[in-house]
Amino acid sequence: MTGLAISLPTLETERLVLRPPALRDFEAYAAFLASDRAAGIGGPRPRDMAFGDFCALIGHWHLRGYGRWVVADRHTDAALGVVGLMLPEGWPEPEIAWSVFAGAEGRGIAREAAIRARRYAYETLGWTRVVSCTKADNLRSIALARRLGAVHEYDHDHPRHGRLLVWRHLSPAELGM
């Protein structure tokens, strides 16, 4: 048996494809979670835990009807990060979340993918509000939230991640949608 086939949406931007996670993406995901780059999302994490987290990417789609995509280079299909929508247990509100793998940072990939994910949330799912959560010391994510037009609205105490800054994104009306 090779696995259960499921149908999840694929989105595109000028440079990127936001597609369902596939087993071929696990090595890049595991390397990211094993690195210090994953500190903002509870890492570093060992390979066995990374596999559980990777499986949860697809599980979230089944349980919530939305989730995070692997962000791939449009021309090479190389996995560059994970971006999308999530609402894990204990989270304050549905979130646009982003993680960019080594070598992909600083190229506007997370911003481009997050804008596309936000458009999906508003146009396809009919959401009118969405946030992004960052740790107070994750300066790159804070800068990205600001570049996306999000405003720090409140703090949330999470039992495992501690204090999270909650950034409110522009509404569909504010974006002219």
pLDDT at 74 over 60: yes
Q: What is the pLDDT of residue 77?
A: 97
CB 165 within 8 Å of CB 142: yes
Over residues 139-153, mean pLDDT: 97
Q: What is the pLDDT of residue 37?
A: 83
HEC per residue, the chain = CCCCCCCCCCEECCCEEEECCCHHHHHHHHHHHHCHHHHHHCCCCCHHHHHHHHHHHHHHHHHHCCCEEEEEECCCCCEEEEEEEECCCCCCCCEEEEEECCCCCCCCHHHHHHHHHHHHHHHCCCCCCCEEEEECCCHHHHHHHHHCCCEEEEEEEECCCEEEEEEECCCCCCCCC
Which tens digits make up the pLDDT trace of 110-130? 999 999 999 999 999 999 999
What CATH number should be reported for the domain whose range is 11-168?
3.40.630.30
pLDDT at 30 over 90: yes
Residue 18 pLDDT level (bands cut at 50, 70, 90): very high
Our CA angle for 158, 65, 30, nearest 5°, is 60
pLDDT at 137 over 80: yes
Q: Where are the domains of the chain?
A: 11-168
Over residues 127-138, mean pLDDT: 96
CB 92 within 8 Å of CB 166: yes
Express as a percent the part of the chain with pLDDT over 70: 97
pLDDT at 45 over 90: no
